[in-house]
């Protein structure tokens, strides 16, 4: 054996990061990238997108590393969208189409908007690109449960009818784009009118189940008024078990 060969045998060439098995690279990424966090798509200001915010650091090391990191960043965090308040607008404008395709976990809340309902139709093309790629979807359908208390306010029955007319096209759109393998959970607080629409438009595989976030929004259980929980200031539960 020559001296050069012997030296190479004793000092093998260092292995580059991309030469490591992906499973090992994934474990390393998980120490550097936030995971299992809840991201509210509507808390970002116009011009400050989630995509531009995350462009930096090791995402610029190489194209392959950036792609693998983005798959984790979008595929292993939970994104939350409120149908009222321009939720679809922020989802479309704060994230590139490619990164929306990476999303795997989504929470959609449909809360009463009072007098501020936006008479808009669902962004069907947006849902057509998001829903088929998800692993889990949680829909919290917040049918109005209490009449508003101001002069000449609508009755509770009127509020419910307005809300049902508003959410119907969204459920219809979702039902058209939800694939069979997608795990869908709906928390409707056991409201009869909402459940009828859910069962009409969403796939039979859809699960009707109470969730931790739904408990908070509907003020049920440990979040009820009687529990005394609301005596303290709290931003609400963030649980990856919901989806």
Instruction: Give 12-55 pLDDT, tens digit per residue.
Output: 555 688 888 999 999 988 888 888 989 998 875 444 455 554 55
Q: Report the predicted TM-score, pTM, of the whole model to 2 decimal places.
A: 0.81
The CA distance from 74 to 78, in Å, is 8
Least confident range of 91-105, 131-145, 149-163, 216-230: 216-230
As a whole-number percent, the residues of the chain with pLDDT over 70 amount to: 78
**pLDDT confidence band for 104 (50 / 70 / 90):** very high
The CA distance from 125 to 131, in Å, is 10
The residue ranking higher by pLDDT, 125 or 13, is 125
pLDDT value at 221 more than 60: yes
The residue ranking higher by pLDDT, 95 or 85, is 95
Q: What CA dihedral angle connects 80, 86, 91 and 93, to 10 degrees?
A: -150
Which pLDDT does position 16 carry in this prediction?
82
Helix (H, G, I), strand (E, B) or coil at 38: strand
For 67-82, what is each residue's pLDDT tens digit?
Answer: 998 999 999 999 999 9
Which pLDDT does position 227 carry in this prediction?
74
As a whole-number percent, the residues of the chain with pLDDT over 90 amount to: 44
Least confident range of 9-23, 76-90, 159-173: 9-23
pLDDT value at 197 more than 90: yes
3-state secondary structure 160-195: HHHHHHHHHHHHHHHHHHCCCCCEEEEECCCCHHHH
43-47, Cβ contacts within 8 angstroms, sequence gap of 24 or more: 44/90, 44/94, 46/93
Contact call for residues 215 and 186 (beta carbons, < 8 A): no
């Amino acid at each position: 054996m020559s001296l050069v060969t012997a030296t190479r045998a004793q000092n093998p060439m260092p292995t580059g990061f991309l030469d490591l098995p992906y499973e090992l690279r994934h474990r390393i990424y998980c120490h550097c990238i936030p995971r299992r966090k809840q991201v509210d798509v509507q808390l970002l200001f116009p011009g400050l997108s989630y995509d531009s915010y995350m462009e930096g650091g090791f995402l610029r090391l190489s194209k392959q590393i950036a792609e693998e990191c983005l798959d984790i960043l979008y595929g292993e965090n939970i994104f939350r969208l409120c149908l009222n308040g321009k939720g679809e607008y922020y989802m479309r404008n704060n994230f590139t189409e490619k990164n929306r395709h990476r999303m795997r976990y989504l929470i959609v809340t449909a809360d009463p908007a009072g007098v501020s309902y936006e008479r808009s139709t669902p962004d069907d093309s947006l849902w057509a690109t998001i829903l088929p790629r998800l692993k889990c979807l949680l829909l919290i359908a917040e049918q109005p449960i209490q009449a508003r208390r101001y002069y000449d306010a609508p009755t509770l029955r009127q509020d419910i009818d307005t809300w049902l007319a508003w959410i119907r096209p969204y459920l219809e759109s979702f039902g058209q784009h939800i694939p069979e393998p997608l795990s869908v959970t709906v928390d409707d607080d056991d409201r009869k009118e909402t459940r009828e629409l859910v069962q009409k438009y969403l796939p039979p595989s859809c699960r009707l189940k109470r969730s931790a976030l739904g408990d908070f929004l509907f003020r049920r259980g440990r979040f009820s008024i009687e529990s005394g929980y609301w005596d303290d200031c709290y931003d609400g539960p963030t649980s990856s078990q919901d989806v």
